[in-house]
């Protein structure tokens, strides 16, 4: 029976090729636009570590300038800055609260001494602690992280990103070999696999759409070499900061901290720890702003930092408006077609078709249209994403965006199939409802 219905559907399409093309084309265009926009939106607002969303927390305390004219965020004066000073970071990092913690900053780095690379390679360096890799589920191709003892040293150990390793060692297993980092000999303990969380949730103090840093060293190398941070660093206060020692003793903030707190109890303990530290420092004359200590999980962190641009949300709504227009178009055309075919439907009723069978026959036509439109839409969507990729790759803050997102695609296809079917339901149902005798009066 279904085969019969589909044969009738094809017949119907051939009767009005122009309109059929318009319907399929419109659906396809609507779906492909939604696919492109959804993918971009999803990629831009997605949580790259969603499986750990309830476990990872950004640790922030507010030791900023108490003068009300001088908030850190001028458009959100109540918000605490994203980074900590050296003093606060050290204290919090050394808290006895069980659970992994990580502190990090960015240092300027120059790599040299690798075989085959004559020219030194500059490399923004992530100076961080050993738990960085396990906390953020960073995959390793060779080797692994350094250990806590190396953090304390600090030991001259280094982890390379895949791209760096490809460039310096041709992609071979370089664990155990050494390179010169800022003139000092460092031993490679690990090489990362492909890893590109978008957005770069753990460090959004510079563009959230940049790649993770190409090399990693233990955090204490910064103080050890008295190397000023190369990322975002902000200071306030009247005390002059002229030397590195003064810098790390000042209120300048340049360190980000994350904590892994899997249970509510752990979170409560950490919060209490922060609060009591705040209280004692407040008594000593620091932390003059109202208490503003937070543990923020990743999804909230992304939202607070305004990572999803309003542009992409506007475009998403526009895409759905477009799909709506396409669907309305389709309903209108289907309605007209089915109503014109009503006499034939009436005839079939007279010859013994039940209302349900007429409805199914026309629904099959709608379903065929929807499948055709969805398939074409998928193809167009893939093409569209390639175009968007080219558009974004040529510039803009989003770098190499728009990898095909399977979840979004499934969603878009389901949306298209369901919405087209829903669109066709009304016309199909209307045809079946008409009394057969109405169209048979030949006089």
Partner 1 sequence: MLKMQDVSKVYRTDLIETHALRNFSLEVKSGQFVAVSGPSGSGKTTFLNVAGLLETFDTGVYELDGADVSRLSDDARSRMRNEKIGFIFQSFNLIPDLDIYDNVDVPLRYRRMKAAERNTRITKALELVGLASRMKHMPSQLSGGQQQRVAIARAIAGDPALILADEPTGNLDSLMARQVMDLLEQINEMGTTIVLVTHDPELARRAQRNIHIVDGLVIDSAPPYERRSTTVSFSADATGSRAG
Partner 2 sequence: MNIRPVVSALLRNRVGAILVALEVAIALAVLVNAAFIVGQRIAKIAEPTGLDQQDMFAIAMAGTTTDFDAQSSARDDIAYLRSMHGVVSAAPAGTIPLTGDGSNGELYLEPDQRGGSAVGSWLATDEQGLRTLGATLIAGRNFRASEIRHLARGDIDQAVPEVIVTQSMAHALFPGRNALGQVVYDRQNRPITIIGIVRDFVGQVGFGSPPYNVVILPQVPGAYGSYFCLVRTEPGRAEAILHLAERHLAASNATRVIFFAHTLDYYKAQLDSDDRNMAIFLVVVTALILAITCLGIFGLTTFNVSTRTKQIGTMRAVGARKRDVVSHFLLENAIIVGLGVLIGCTLALGVGYWLSMEYGLPRLDLYFLAIGVLILAVIGQLAAWQPARRAASVPPSVATRTV
Residues in touch with partner 1 (CB under 8 A): 1, 4, 11, 14-15, 344, 347-357, 435-437, 440-443
Nearest-approach distance from CB 85 to partner 2, in angstroms: 15
DSSP H or E stretch at residue 59: strand 56-60
Q: Which of 1, 17, 94, 242 binds partner 2 (CB under 8 A)?
A: 242
Rank residues 50 and 426 by Cβ distance to partner 2 and give the closer one.
426
The interface partner of residue 1, options being partner 1, partner 2, none and the CB cut-off 5 to 8 Å by kind, is: partner 1
Let me know: does 59 contact 257? Beta carbons within 8 Å.
yes
Binds 349: which of partner 2, partner 1, none (CB < 5-8 Å by kind): partner 1
Among 186, 202, 287, 322, binds partner 2 (CB under 8 A): 322
Tell me which stretch binds partner 2 (CB under 8 A): 92-100, 214-222, 237-245, 282-290: 237-245
Chain center to CA of 142: 26
Q: How many residues bind partner 2 (CB under 8 A)?
A: 73
Judged by CB under 8 A, the residue of 152, 226, 280, 386 near partner 2 is 226
Q: What whole-number distance in Å separates Cα of residue 145 and Cα of residue 142?
A: 10
Helix (H, G, I), strand (E, B) or coil at 217: strand
Closest CA to 339 of 422, 439, 420: 439
Measured from the CB atom, the residue of 272 and 397 that comes closer to partner 2 is 397
Question: Rg (Cα) of the chain, in Å, rounded?
Answer: 31
Angle at 258 between CA 105 and CA 280, to 5 degrees: 95
Closest CA to 371 of 125, 4, 28, 112: 28
By CB under 8 A, residue 276 contacts partner 2: no
- 279 makes contact, choosing from partner 2, partner 1, none, with CB < 5 to 8 Å by partner type, with none
Counting contacts by CB under 8 A, is residue 347 touching partner 2? no
> In whole angstroms, what is the distance from residue 306 CA to residue 75 CA?
12
Binding mask 34-73 for partner 2 (x = CB under 8 A): -------------------------------x-x-xx--x
Is 58:301 a contact under the CB 8 Å cutoff? yes
Q: Which stretch binds partner 2 (CB under 8 A): 264-272, 283-291, 307-315, 432-440?
A: 307-315
Nearest to 385 by CA among 26, 145, 31, 131: 31
């Amino acid at each position: 029976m279904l085969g019969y219905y589909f044969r009738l559907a094809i017949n119907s399409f051939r009767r009005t090729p122009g309109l059929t093309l318009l319907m399929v084309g419109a659906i396809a265009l609507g779906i492909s636009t939604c696919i492109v926009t959804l993918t971009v939106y999803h990629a831009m607002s997605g949580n790259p570590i969603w499986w750990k969303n309830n476990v990872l927390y950004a640790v922030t305390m507010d030791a900023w300038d108490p003068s009300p004219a001088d908030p850190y965020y001028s458009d959100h004066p109540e918000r605490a800055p994203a980074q900590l000073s050296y003093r606060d970071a050290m204290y919090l990092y050394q808290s006895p609260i069980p659970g992994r913690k990580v502190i990090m900053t960015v240092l300027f780095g120059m790599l040299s001494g690798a075989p085959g690379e004559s020219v030194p390679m500059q490399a923004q360096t992530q100076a961080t602690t050993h738990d960085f890799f396990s906390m953020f589920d960073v995959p390793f191709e060779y080797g692994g992280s350094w250990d806590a003892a190396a953090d304390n040293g600090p030991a001259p150990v280094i982890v390379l990103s895949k791209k760096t390793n490809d460039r310096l060692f041709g992609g071979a297993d370089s664990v155990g070999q050494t390179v010169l980092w800022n003139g000092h000999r460092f031993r490679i303990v690990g090489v990362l696999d492909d890893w590109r969380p978008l957005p770069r949730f753990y460090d959004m103090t510079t563009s959230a759409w940049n790649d993770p840093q190409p090399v990693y060293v233990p955090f204490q190398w910064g103080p050890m070499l008295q190397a000023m941070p190369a990322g975002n660093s902000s200071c306030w206060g009247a005390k002059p900061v002229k030397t590195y020692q003064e810098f790390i003793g000042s209120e300048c903030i340049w360190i980000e901290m994350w904590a892994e707190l899997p249970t509510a109890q752990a979170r409560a303990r950490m919060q209490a720890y922060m609060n009591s530290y705040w209280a004692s420092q407040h008594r000593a004359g620091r932390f003059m702003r109202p208490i503003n200590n937070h543990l923020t999980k990743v999804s909230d962190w992304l939202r607070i930092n305004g990572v999803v641009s309003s542009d992409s949300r506007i475009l998403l709504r526009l895409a759905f408006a477009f799909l709506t227009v396409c669907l309305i178009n389709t309903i209108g055309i289907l309605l007209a077609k089915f109503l014109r075919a009503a006499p034939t439907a009436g005839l079939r009723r007279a010859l013994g078709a039940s209302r349900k069978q007429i409805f199914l026959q026309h629904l099959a036509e709608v379903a065929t249209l929807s499948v055709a439109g969805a398939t074409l839409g998928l193809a167009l969507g893939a093409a569209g994403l390639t175009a968007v990729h080219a558009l974004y790759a040529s510039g803009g803050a989003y770098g190499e965006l728009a990898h095909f997102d399977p979840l979004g695609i499934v969603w878009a296809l389901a949306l298209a199939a369901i919405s087209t079917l829903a669109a066709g339901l009304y016309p199909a149902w209307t045809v079946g409802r008409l009394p057969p005798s109405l169209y048979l009066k030949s006089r």
